[in-house]
């Protein structure tokens, strides 16, 4: 019967593997926020076709930035959880 404890210990994750995706996600979030503010301002002041086209372009770019944020956060999550495999403890193998 199992006691509910893990047999292996997790290896430490290198901070570099987390800093790069999290830093990129931070920068992409800042760009997303700027693009959303720009799109709202352009949408409020829209009077001609070019202003509406700029508002639509800013909206599409904001959507792309948000997708980049999600991708970078998923990479950081994977680096934090999947990159640290369990180390086997020495001893006999039970079936």
Whether 32 shows a pLDDT value over 70: the answer reads yes
Domain definitions of the chain by residue range: 17-80
List, in order, residues 6 or more apart from 56 with CB less than 8 Å away. none
- pTM equals 0.70
Whether 39 shows a pLDDT value over 70: the answer reads yes
Q: Specify whether the CB–CB gap between 39 and 59 falls below 8 A.
A: yes
Q: What is the pLDDT of residues 69-82, one digit of tens each?
A: 999 999 998 888 76
């Amino acid at each position: 019967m199992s006691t509910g404890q893990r047999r292996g210990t997790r290896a430490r994750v290198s901070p570099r593997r987390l800093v790069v995706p999290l830093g990129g996600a931070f920068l992409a979030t800042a760009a997303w926020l700027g693009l959303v503010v720009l799109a709202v301002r352009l949408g409020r002041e829209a009077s001609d076709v070019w202003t509406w086209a700029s508002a639509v372009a800013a909206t599409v770019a904001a959507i792309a930035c948000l997708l980049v944020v999600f991708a970078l956060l998923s990479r950081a999550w994977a680096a934090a959880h999947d990159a640290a495999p369990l180390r086997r403890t020495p001893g006999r193998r039970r079936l």
